[in-house]
Amino acid sequence: QVQLVESGGGLAQPGGSLRLSCAASVTVFNIFANYNMGWYRQAPGKQREFVATISSGLLGGKTDYADSVKGRFTISRDNAKQIVYLQMNSLKPEDTAVYYCNANRGTTNTWGQGTQVTIVS
């Protein structure tokens, strides 16, 4: 099993940057590197949507991004620290949402509690 805690959200201006972190705690019989990790977001009145993922693997993993964030956001992982990051640059008002960290292994998905990101002028 894994538990996830997000941090790093807050207020930013358009064009600014934020870095989100997701700290994972895995049980002794699991290995963080075995989990596919991802970021999703949910804006008010909208469904939760995919933002970025990074696949499992000891050497980092393959990344994938939603079209809306390509070239602006970067997902990365530090397996030794059991942390996943989402570097968000060139932020836009439409990036305002609660951002959730996800850990996937097989058919099991685990979610964090979310962190609010608000982009205001």
Dihedral (CA of 39, 110, 85, 34) sign: negative
| Spatial separation of the C-alpha atoms in residues 40 and 56, rounded to whole Å | 17
22-65 per-position pLDDT tens digit: 999 987 667 899 999 999 999 999 999 999 999 998 776 899 99
Tokens of 29: 């019989």
| Spatial separation of the C-alpha atoms in residues 52 and 38, rounded to whole Å | 6
pLDDT of residue 29: 67
* 1 band by pLDDT with thresholds 50, 70 and 90: confident
87-101 per-position pLDDT tens digit: 999 999 999 999 999
28, 54 Cβ separation under 8 angstroms: no
DSSP 48: -
* 118 band by pLDDT with thresholds 50, 70 and 90: very high
Which residues on neighbouring strands pair with residue 93, listed in sequence order? none
H-helix or E-strand containing 36?
strand 36-42
Contacts of 96 (CB under 8 A, 6+ apart): 43, 117, 118, 119, 120
Tokens of 83: 């942390």
